[in-house]
Amino acid sequence: MSIMGKSKKITMQEIADIVGVSKYAVSKALSGKPGISASTREKIFEVASQLGYLDQKLIKNMNNHVQDADDEKMIGILFPNIRSQNRDSGYWGRVLEGVFKGLESSGISSVLITDDSPRNFHKIMRPEGLLGIIGIGLIDTSMLVDLRNVGIPFVLVDHEDELVSSDSVFMNNYDILRKQVKYLIGKGHTDVQFVGDWRFARSFADRWNGFKSVLAESGIPYTPNESLIRVKPTNDQENLDLILSTLAELQSGSLPTSFVCANDKIASYVLRAMRQLGIRVPEDTCVTGFDNDAEIMLEFPELSTVNAESEALGIKGVEILFWRLANLQMPHEKLLLQSDLIIKGSIAPPRTAGEKHSI
Protein backbone atom coordinates (compact mmCIF):
# COMPACT_ATOMS: atom_id res chain seq x y z
CA MET A 1 0.00 0.00 0.00
CA SER A 2 1.39 3.41 -0.89
CA ILE A 3 2.00 5.76 2.01
CA MET A 4 0.52 8.51 -0.21
CA GLY A 5 -2.90 6.97 0.23
CA LYS A 6 -3.25 7.78 3.92
CA SER A 7 -6.28 9.87 4.76
CA LYS A 8 -6.54 9.58 8.54
CA LYS A 9 -4.63 11.80 10.97
CA ILE A 10 -0.95 10.88 10.90
CA THR A 11 1.00 10.40 14.12
CA MET A 12 4.70 10.68 14.86
CA GLN A 13 4.74 6.99 15.75
CA GLU A 14 3.59 6.08 12.23
CA ILE A 15 6.40 8.17 10.78
CA ALA A 16 8.88 6.53 13.18
CA ASP A 17 7.71 3.04 12.17
CA ILE A 18 8.14 3.74 8.45
CA VAL A 19 11.58 5.38 8.79
CA GLY A 20 12.74 2.79 11.31
CA VAL A 21 13.67 5.20 14.10
CA SER A 22 12.28 6.04 17.53
CA LYS A 23 9.35 8.38 18.08
CA TYR A 24 11.78 10.51 20.08
CA ALA A 25 14.01 10.93 17.00
CA VAL A 26 11.02 12.01 14.90
CA SER A 27 10.02 14.55 17.53
CA LYS A 28 13.51 16.04 17.61
CA ALA A 29 13.73 16.21 13.83
CA LEU A 30 10.32 17.81 13.36
CA SER A 31 10.92 20.36 16.11
CA GLY A 32 14.21 21.45 14.56
CA LYS A 33 16.33 20.33 17.51
CA PRO A 34 19.90 19.09 17.12
CA GLY A 35 21.07 15.56 17.81
CA ILE A 36 19.79 13.90 14.60
CA SER A 37 22.06 13.06 11.69
CA ALA A 38 21.41 14.90 8.43
CA SER A 39 20.51 11.72 6.54
CA THR A 40 18.03 10.57 9.22
CA ARG A 41 16.46 14.03 9.42
CA GLU A 42 16.04 14.04 5.62
CA LYS A 43 14.29 10.64 5.68
CA ILE A 44 11.94 11.80 8.44
CA PHE A 45 11.03 14.98 6.55
CA GLU A 46 10.49 13.02 3.33
CA VAL A 47 8.09 10.53 4.92
CA ALA A 48 6.32 13.22 6.95
CA SER A 49 5.78 15.23 3.76
CA GLN A 50 4.49 12.22 1.79
CA LEU A 51 2.04 11.41 4.56
CA GLY A 52 0.73 14.95 4.58
CA TYR A 53 2.10 15.65 8.04
CA LEU A 54 4.14 18.65 6.86
CA ASP A 55 4.07 21.17 4.08
CA GLN A 56 7.22 22.30 2.28
CA LYS A 57 7.20 25.76 3.87
CA LEU A 58 7.22 24.28 7.35
CA ILE A 59 10.04 21.89 6.41
CA LYS A 60 12.12 24.79 5.16
CA ASN A 61 11.55 26.78 8.35
CA MET A 62 12.52 23.79 10.48
CA ASN A 63 15.70 23.19 8.53
CA ASN A 64 16.66 26.83 8.97
CA HIS A 65 16.50 26.42 12.73
CA VAL A 66 18.63 23.31 12.92
CA GLN A 67 21.95 24.01 14.62
CA ASP A 68 25.30 23.02 13.17
CA ALA A 69 26.54 19.49 13.78
CA ASP A 70 29.16 20.83 16.19
CA ASP A 71 26.37 21.87 18.54
CA GLU A 72 24.57 18.54 18.51
CA LYS A 73 24.06 16.86 21.84
CA MET A 74 25.16 13.29 22.22
CA ILE A 75 24.42 10.25 24.37
CA GLY A 76 27.30 9.43 26.68
CA ILE A 77 28.08 5.74 27.25
CA LEU A 78 29.85 5.47 30.59
CA PHE A 79 31.86 2.24 30.51
CA PRO A 80 34.54 2.16 33.24
CA ASN A 81 37.65 0.39 32.00
CA ILE A 82 38.48 -1.79 35.00
CA ARG A 83 40.12 -5.22 35.08
CA SER A 84 36.98 -7.33 35.18
CA GLN A 85 34.84 -5.15 32.91
CA ASN A 86 35.95 -4.02 29.50
CA ARG A 87 34.90 -3.93 25.88
CA ASP A 88 36.76 -7.14 25.04
CA SER A 89 34.78 -9.11 27.63
CA GLY A 90 32.36 -11.63 26.16
CA TYR A 91 29.61 -10.40 28.49
CA TRP A 92 30.21 -6.64 28.75
CA GLY A 93 31.13 -6.38 25.09
CA ARG A 94 27.68 -7.70 24.14
CA VAL A 95 26.00 -5.23 26.49
CA LEU A 96 27.89 -2.41 24.78
CA GLU A 97 26.94 -3.72 21.34
CA GLY A 98 23.30 -3.69 22.47
CA VAL A 99 23.62 -0.02 23.41
CA PHE A 100 25.13 0.80 20.01
CA LYS A 101 22.35 -1.15 18.29
CA GLY A 102 19.69 0.68 20.29
CA LEU A 103 21.18 4.07 19.39
CA GLU A 104 21.66 3.21 15.72
CA SER A 105 18.05 3.78 14.71
CA SER A 106 17.73 6.98 16.74
CA GLY A 107 20.09 8.98 14.56
CA ILE A 108 21.70 10.38 17.71
CA SER A 109 25.47 10.25 17.98
CA SER A 110 27.25 8.87 21.05
CA VAL A 111 30.56 9.10 22.86
CA LEU A 112 32.22 6.29 24.83
CA ILE A 113 33.57 7.40 28.22
CA THR A 114 35.89 4.87 29.87
CA ASP A 115 37.24 7.08 32.67
CA ASP A 116 35.20 6.71 35.86
CA SER A 117 36.93 9.52 37.76
CA PRO A 118 34.49 12.36 38.54
CA ARG A 119 37.23 14.98 38.54
CA ASN A 120 38.22 14.01 34.99
CA PHE A 121 34.66 14.03 33.65
CA HIS A 122 34.56 17.77 32.91
CA LYS A 123 37.90 17.50 31.10
CA ILE A 124 36.60 14.72 28.86
CA MET A 125 33.15 16.06 27.99
CA ARG A 126 31.19 19.24 28.55
CA PRO A 127 28.03 18.17 30.48
CA GLU A 128 25.97 20.63 28.45
CA GLY A 129 26.91 18.65 25.34
CA LEU A 130 25.26 15.48 26.65
CA LEU A 131 21.60 14.65 26.21
CA GLY A 132 21.81 11.74 28.66
CA ILE A 133 24.08 8.93 29.82
CA ILE A 134 23.87 5.15 29.80
CA GLY A 135 26.08 3.62 32.49
CA ILE A 136 27.24 0.05 31.96
CA GLY A 137 28.17 -2.11 34.94
CA LEU A 138 29.84 -1.08 38.18
CA ILE A 139 30.20 2.71 38.48
CA ASP A 140 31.59 4.52 41.50
CA THR A 141 29.02 6.32 43.67
CA SER A 142 30.96 9.59 43.51
CA MET A 143 30.68 9.55 39.72
CA LEU A 144 26.91 9.04 39.87
CA VAL A 145 26.58 11.84 42.44
CA ASP A 146 28.52 14.11 40.08
CA LEU A 147 26.16 13.26 37.21
CA ARG A 148 23.14 13.88 39.40
CA ASN A 149 24.54 17.24 40.50
CA VAL A 150 25.00 18.49 36.92
CA GLY A 151 21.49 17.33 36.06
CA ILE A 152 22.26 14.84 33.29
CA PRO A 153 19.56 12.11 33.04
CA PHE A 154 21.12 8.64 33.20
CA VAL A 155 20.17 4.98 33.11
CA LEU A 156 22.25 2.19 34.67
CA VAL A 157 22.62 -1.21 33.00
CA ASP A 158 23.30 -4.14 35.37
CA HIS A 159 23.98 -1.80 38.27
CA GLU A 160 22.19 0.37 40.78
CA ASP A 161 23.29 2.52 43.69
CA GLU A 162 21.39 2.81 46.97
CA LEU A 163 22.63 6.37 47.44
CA VAL A 164 21.79 7.69 43.96
CA SER A 165 18.32 6.97 42.60
CA SER A 166 18.10 6.25 38.86
CA ASP A 167 16.42 4.12 36.21
CA SER A 168 18.03 0.70 35.82
CA VAL A 169 17.76 -2.53 33.83
CA PHE A 170 18.84 -5.99 35.00
CA MET A 171 18.38 -9.62 34.21
CA ASN A 172 15.87 -11.15 36.64
CA ASN A 173 18.75 -12.57 38.66
CA TYR A 174 16.73 -13.60 41.71
CA ASP A 175 14.11 -15.72 39.95
CA ILE A 176 16.43 -17.48 37.49
CA LEU A 177 18.88 -18.41 40.27
CA ARG A 178 15.97 -19.92 42.19
CA LYS A 179 15.16 -21.99 39.11
CA GLN A 180 18.78 -23.10 38.79
CA VAL A 181 18.98 -24.26 42.43
CA LYS A 182 15.62 -26.02 42.20
CA TYR A 183 16.97 -27.94 39.23
CA LEU A 184 20.00 -29.05 41.29
CA ILE A 185 17.77 -30.11 44.17
CA GLY A 186 15.63 -32.05 41.73
CA LYS A 187 18.78 -33.94 40.72
CA GLY A 188 19.37 -34.88 44.35
CA HIS A 189 21.81 -32.17 45.46
CA THR A 190 21.47 -31.06 49.08
CA ASP A 191 25.11 -30.08 49.82
CA VAL A 192 25.45 -26.92 47.76
CA GLN A 193 27.78 -23.94 48.08
CA PHE A 194 27.56 -20.47 46.53
CA VAL A 195 30.78 -19.05 45.06
CA GLY A 196 31.09 -15.29 44.63
CA ASP A 197 31.24 -12.10 46.68
CA TRP A 198 27.61 -10.98 46.87
CA ARG A 199 28.84 -7.49 47.81
CA PHE A 200 30.62 -7.08 44.47
CA ALA A 201 27.53 -6.06 42.47
CA ARG A 202 23.79 -5.82 42.91
CA SER A 203 23.30 -8.65 40.40
CA PHE A 204 25.52 -10.89 42.56
CA ALA A 205 23.48 -10.00 45.65
CA ASP A 206 20.22 -10.89 43.89
CA ARG A 207 21.65 -14.24 42.79
CA TRP A 208 22.91 -14.94 46.30
CA ASN A 209 19.51 -14.15 47.81
CA GLY A 210 17.73 -16.31 45.25
CA PHE A 211 20.13 -19.16 46.04
CA LYS A 212 19.51 -18.95 49.81
CA SER A 213 15.75 -18.58 49.49
CA VAL A 214 15.29 -21.92 47.69
CA LEU A 215 17.43 -23.82 50.19
CA ALA A 216 15.49 -22.29 53.08
CA GLU A 217 12.12 -23.10 51.52
CA SER A 218 13.27 -26.67 50.82
CA GLY A 219 14.41 -27.18 54.41
CA ILE A 220 18.00 -27.81 53.29
CA PRO A 221 20.56 -26.64 55.87
CA TYR A 222 23.14 -24.23 54.49
CA THR A 223 26.19 -22.73 56.14
CA PRO A 224 28.06 -20.42 53.76
CA ASN A 225 31.73 -21.12 53.27
CA GLU A 226 33.15 -17.73 54.24
CA SER A 227 36.07 -18.03 51.84
CA LEU A 228 33.90 -18.91 48.83
CA ILE A 229 31.63 -15.91 49.35
CA ARG A 230 34.70 -13.64 49.19
CA VAL A 231 35.63 -14.75 45.67
CA LYS A 232 35.51 -11.96 43.08
CA PRO A 233 35.43 -12.11 39.25
CA THR A 234 38.97 -10.71 39.11
CA ASN A 235 42.11 -12.34 37.80
CA ASP A 236 44.46 -11.20 40.56
CA GLN A 237 46.66 -13.82 42.23
CA GLU A 238 45.20 -13.35 45.71
CA ASN A 239 41.71 -14.17 44.41
CA LEU A 240 42.91 -17.24 42.48
CA ASP A 241 44.92 -18.47 45.48
CA LEU A 242 41.82 -18.13 47.68
CA ILE A 243 39.84 -20.39 45.34
CA LEU A 244 42.58 -23.00 45.11
CA SER A 245 43.26 -23.17 48.86
CA THR A 246 39.55 -23.30 49.72
CA LEU A 247 38.82 -26.11 47.27
CA ALA A 248 41.87 -28.07 48.50
CA GLU A 249 40.59 -27.77 52.07
CA LEU A 250 37.10 -28.94 51.05
CA GLN A 251 38.58 -31.80 49.04
CA SER A 252 40.46 -33.09 52.09
CA GLY A 253 37.25 -33.06 54.12
CA SER A 254 33.76 -33.24 52.64
CA LEU A 255 33.47 -31.86 49.11
CA PRO A 256 30.05 -30.30 48.39
CA THR A 257 28.14 -32.05 45.61
CA SER A 258 27.64 -28.80 43.67
CA PHE A 259 28.98 -25.25 43.42
CA VAL A 260 26.73 -22.44 42.19
CA CYS A 261 28.98 -19.66 40.87
CA ALA A 262 27.88 -16.03 40.70
CA ASN A 263 28.97 -15.80 37.06
CA ASP A 264 30.83 -17.69 34.35
CA LYS A 265 34.13 -15.94 35.03
CA ILE A 266 34.14 -17.17 38.63
CA ALA A 267 33.05 -20.62 37.42
CA SER A 268 36.04 -20.68 35.06
CA TYR A 269 38.43 -19.96 37.96
CA VAL A 270 36.78 -22.73 39.99
CA LEU A 271 37.01 -25.23 37.11
CA ARG A 272 40.70 -24.46 36.53
CA ALA A 273 41.44 -24.93 40.22
CA MET A 274 39.51 -28.22 40.25
CA ARG A 275 41.46 -29.40 37.23
CA GLN A 276 44.70 -28.64 39.09
CA LEU A 277 43.48 -30.53 42.16
CA GLY A 278 42.21 -33.53 40.21
CA ILE A 279 38.56 -32.88 41.10
CA ARG A 280 36.37 -34.26 38.29
CA VAL A 281 33.25 -32.48 37.02
CA PRO A 282 30.53 -33.79 37.15
CA GLU A 283 31.77 -37.11 38.61
CA ASP A 284 33.02 -35.64 41.91
CA THR A 285 31.04 -32.41 42.04
CA CYS A 286 28.94 -30.16 39.81
CA VAL A 287 29.51 -26.54 38.79
CA THR A 288 27.13 -23.92 37.37
CA GLY A 289 27.75 -20.41 36.08
CA PHE A 290 25.75 -17.42 34.93
CA ASP A 291 25.94 -15.23 31.78
CA ASN A 292 26.58 -17.73 28.95
CA ASP A 293 29.82 -15.88 28.25
CA ALA A 294 30.93 -16.97 24.76
CA GLU A 295 34.61 -16.52 25.55
CA ILE A 296 34.45 -18.78 28.62
CA MET A 297 32.31 -21.36 26.80
CA LEU A 298 35.16 -21.88 24.35
CA GLU A 299 37.32 -23.19 27.21
CA PHE A 300 34.53 -24.88 29.18
CA PRO A 301 31.83 -25.90 26.66
CA GLU A 302 30.15 -28.24 29.19
CA LEU A 303 29.53 -25.50 31.78
CA SER A 304 25.84 -25.25 32.70
CA THR A 305 24.89 -21.59 32.92
CA VAL A 306 22.15 -18.99 32.52
CA ASN A 307 21.57 -17.35 29.16
CA ALA A 308 21.85 -13.72 30.19
CA GLU A 309 20.53 -11.68 27.26
CA SER A 310 23.31 -9.13 27.60
CA GLU A 311 22.74 -7.44 24.24
CA ALA A 312 19.07 -7.00 25.15
CA LEU A 313 20.18 -5.25 28.36
CA GLY A 314 21.94 -2.60 26.26
CA ILE A 315 19.00 -2.19 23.88
CA LYS A 316 16.56 -1.80 26.77
CA GLY A 317 18.88 0.68 28.46
CA VAL A 318 18.60 2.93 25.41
CA GLU A 319 14.80 2.60 25.34
CA ILE A 320 14.56 3.52 29.01
CA LEU A 321 16.79 6.57 28.54
CA PHE A 322 14.65 7.88 25.68
CA TRP A 323 11.54 7.32 27.80
CA ARG A 324 13.16 9.17 30.70
CA LEU A 325 14.08 12.16 28.51
CA ALA A 326 10.40 12.49 27.57
CA ASN A 327 9.16 11.89 31.14
CA LEU A 328 11.58 13.67 33.46
CA GLN A 329 9.09 13.98 36.31
CA MET A 330 8.04 10.32 36.45
CA PRO A 331 9.33 8.01 39.23
CA HIS A 332 12.44 6.00 38.46
CA GLU A 333 11.92 2.49 37.07
CA LYS A 334 13.72 -0.82 37.43
CA LEU A 335 13.21 -3.20 34.50
CA LEU A 336 13.90 -6.94 34.83
CA LEU A 337 14.50 -9.13 31.76
CA GLN A 338 13.74 -12.84 31.92
CA SER A 339 16.34 -15.47 31.03
CA ASP A 340 16.69 -19.24 30.60
CA LEU A 341 18.73 -22.08 32.06
CA ILE A 342 21.28 -23.82 29.85
CA ILE A 343 21.81 -27.33 31.22
CA LYS A 344 24.91 -29.12 29.98
CA GLY A 345 27.49 -31.65 31.11
CA SER A 346 28.68 -29.97 34.30
CA ILE A 347 25.55 -31.16 36.15
CA ALA A 348 24.80 -34.77 37.11
CA PRO A 349 23.17 -36.49 40.09
CA PRO A 350 25.47 -36.55 43.14
CA ARG A 351 27.60 -39.63 43.81
CA THR A 352 26.33 -41.95 46.52
CA ALA A 353 28.24 -42.01 49.79
CA GLY A 354 29.77 -45.43 49.05
CA GLU A 355 30.88 -44.69 45.51
CA LYS A 356 34.65 -44.66 45.14
CA HIS A 357 36.76 -42.27 43.11
CA SER A 358 37.96 -44.32 40.16
CA ILE A 359 41.61 -44.20 39.11
58 shares a domain with 100: no
Query: Is residue 357 domain-resident?
Result: no
Per the confidence metrics, is the pTM higher than 0.75?
no
- The verdict on 115 and 94 lying in the same domain is yes
Q: What is the pLDDT of residue 68?
A: 43
* Angle between helical axes of 23-30 and 310-326 (0-180°, round to 10): 40
Average pLDDT, rounded, for the chain? 83
- In the structure, what pLDDT confidence band is assigned to residue 137 with cuts at 50, 70 and 90? confident
In a domain? residue 356? no
**346 within a domain of the structure (yes/no):** no
What mean pLDDT do residues 246-267 have?
A: 96
The pLDDT value recorded for residue 66 is 45
Residue 186 lies in a domain: yes
Task: Pick left, alpha or beta for residue 83 (phi over 0 → left; psi -120 to 50 → alpha; otherwise beta).
Answer: alpha
177 and 303 together in one domain: yes
Q: Is residue 187 part of a domain?
A: yes
pLDDT tens figures, 41-75? 778 877 877 777 765 445 555 555 444 443 467 89
Q: Which residue has the higher pLDDT, 276 or 62?
A: 276
Residue range 327-331: average pLDDT? 89
Residue 347 included in any domain: no
Task: Please provide the DSSP assignment of 294-321 as one string.
Answer: HHHHHH-TT-BEEE--HHHHHHHHHHHH
**56 vs 255, which has greater pLDDT?**
255
Residues 63 and 104 in one domain: no
- pLDDT of 283-307, one tens digit each? 999 999 999 988 899 999 999 999 9
What one-letter code names the amino acid at 218?
Answer: S
Phi-psi region of 137 (alpha: psi -120 to 50; beta: other; left: phi over 0): left
86, 90, 91, 92: CA torsion to nearest 10? 20
Residue-range definition of the domain harbouring residue 30: 3-70
Count up the domains in the chain and report the number: 3
For residue 34, being part of any structural domain is answered with yes
Alpha-carbon gap, residue 331 to 324, rounded angstroms: 9
**CATH code of the domain in which 314 resides:** 3.40.50.2300
**Cα separation of 329 and 220, whole Å?**
46
